[in-house]
Amino acid sequence: MPRRERNKFVKRGEIIEILIEDYAFGGKGIGRIRNEHGEFVVFVPNTIPGQKVKAQIKKSSKKYAEGKLLDVISRSEDELEIPYQDIPGAPYIYLPIEKQHDYKTASTLELFKRIGKVANIEDLLDEFVSSPNTFHYRNKMEYGFSAIGYDRTKKTDIDAFTLGFKRRGLWWCGENLNNDSGLFDADVENKLKEIRNYCEATGLEPWHAPKKEGFFRYFIVRKSYKTNQLLFNLVTTSYDLPKFNLNTFADYLVELFGNRVAGFLHTINDEIGDRTIATTGSIKLIYGEDKIVEELLDLNFEISIKSFFQTNPKCAEKLYSKVIDYALENKEAVDNSVVLDLFCGTGTIGQILASKANNTKIVGVDIVASAIKDAKENAKRNNIAGLEFYAADVGKFLTEHPQYKNKIRTIILDPARAGIAPKTLKKIINLNAERLVYVSCNPATQARDVEQLTQEGYNIKKVSLVDQFPHTAHIETVMLLEKK
């Protein structure tokens, strides 16, 4: 067996300092190592051109390497000072939002050219939809407790009771959030250190990731933009639980946030895995209500602590409006007909479409049974007729319901990040619908699916990019495809 040639530029596990020179899709900065052997590319996620960064090599091949960002040594000249505490979940918060939009647009369109083989994608771009709120746009945040903290001054980990986020690149290490991150509710985040002090004063231990032991694990907060109310969930292990008074802690939250507190729940999670809510754990309501209400495009949705709901509801309204605009562009293909809403989640798009169309039957399908349960309850609450929801695998559902072939004019697709499985996509194509409205949270897999759709007779009519998550690499796309 021939001996594998050793990489002459970097090796796996090596920590390097590198200047980021370019930007690729998904927030991957491109750096280059130049030496006597030539030039070598290193991709480092969550970086931008002009930054000098410290990264650890995770993968290495003859042509390129991939690194994990450990620290930003010096910032790009495009970056500005901000009044917020930076966190790993917002790597581009120092970058002006217009510049973020430029990077996202260029890299996403390039992706459709390279993977989707759509040479004229620029001509098909309808709109870049920006988030109404650049800051404080999230309606949910999960803060983690840790027995190992990080000292930014000494640049090392320390033994400390922390509540905040994991330090970038250090799975065992947490970092305190001491003030507003600019992403969530400012009042909550500015008071998080008081909650941390309260918990530390009990003498109970925070979670120690390497040892996989401790009492305090997570503090989860959901917010309603409609009512401004907050739903809290404290996640702990069951060990030493009798030593912690949950009712007293609920009173403390009311003392901090007053009538903004809609409810407080307690979750037990004794699993050693890094998951906020365990499959075997229990959730108990301690105070108030276990749900809050949010509004999207004049429809109301009840949200529990475990419900899936769009993280940026104000921008979600813009996203859904674009989907509905594309669907109703040919209203004759929607009115007085059946529309399939595949991978429908909690059925939000289908409900909005049904409320704006005439005599339209929406058939929503999703494999997540709890999402379909929420969809049915929300449709009933909003008093919208003409909706049917099925908890089923989309591919299996289409096999078991052959009556839709050649009978559907419009299909809405909103799959998970992995995109649509090839066999399922083939079944969707075989339905022979006139029009597809394809929503994606991962343009890379959408571009892959688009290549097959165009080979099967669909043309992209238009596409919009929606910036649901400012200060991150994420971008959502809405695409209208029609049969040739």
Say whether 344 is catalytic: no
Residue 303 belongs to some domain of the structure: no
φ and ψ at residue 162, rounded to 5 degrees: -120, 150
Torsion angle of the four alpha carbons 139, 310, 163, 29, in this order, in degrees rounded to the nearest 10: -120
Same domain, 389 and 267: no
Average pLDDT over residues 30-58: 90
Among candidate residues 173, 199, 344, 441, the one labeled active-site is 441
Residue 188 belongs to some domain of the structure: yes
pLDDT tens for 134-174 read 999 999 999 999 999 998 888 888 999 999 999 887 888 99
Same domain, 218 and 346: no
Same domain, 363 and 348: yes
Same domain, 123 and 150: no
pLDDT tens for 183-239 read 999 999 999 999 999 999 999 999 999 999 999 999 999 999 999 999 999 999 999
Among the three residues 296, 322, 352, which one is the final residue of a domain in this structure? 296
Same domain, 25 and 124: no
Same domain, 186 and 116: no
pLDDT at residue number 278: 67
Same domain, 343 and 282: no
d(CA 160, CA 458): 57
Residue 389 belongs to some domain of the structure: yes
Q: Which of 14-18, 319-323, 380-384 is predicted most confidently?
A: 319-323
Give residue 5's pLDDT band: very low, low, confident or very high (50, 70, 90). low
Question: Binding site: which residues?
Answer: 310, 343, 366, 414
Domain count, the chain: 3
Which CATH number characterizes residue 33's domain?
2.40.50.140
Question: Binding site for S-adenosyl-L-methionine: which residues?
Answer: 310, 343, 366, 414
Give residue 100's pLDDT band: very low, low, confident or very high (50, 70, 90). very high
Determine the structural domain holding residue 64 and report its residue range.
14-79
Same domain, 113 and 149: no
Length of the chain: 484
d(CA 101, CA 106): 9
Residue 390 belongs to some domain of the structure: yes
What average pLDDT does the chain have? 92
Residue 349 belongs to some domain of the structure: yes
Same domain, 286 and 166: yes
Q: What is the DSSP string of 226-288?
A: TT--EEEEEEE-STTGGGS-HHHHHHHHHHHHGGGEEEEEEEE---SSS-SS-SS-EEEEEEE
Same domain, 333 and 460: yes
Instruction: Select from 389, 391, 400, 455 the least CA-distant residue to 422.
Output: 455
Instruction: Select from 72, 117, 146, 139 the least CA-distant residue to 293.
Output: 139
Same domain, 379 and 471: yes
* Helix and strand counts by DSSP (H, E) for the chain: 11, 22
Which CATH number characterizes residue 402's domain?
3.40.50.150
Which amino acid would we find at residue 44? V
Spatial contact of 43 and 54, defined as CB atoms under 8 Å apart: no
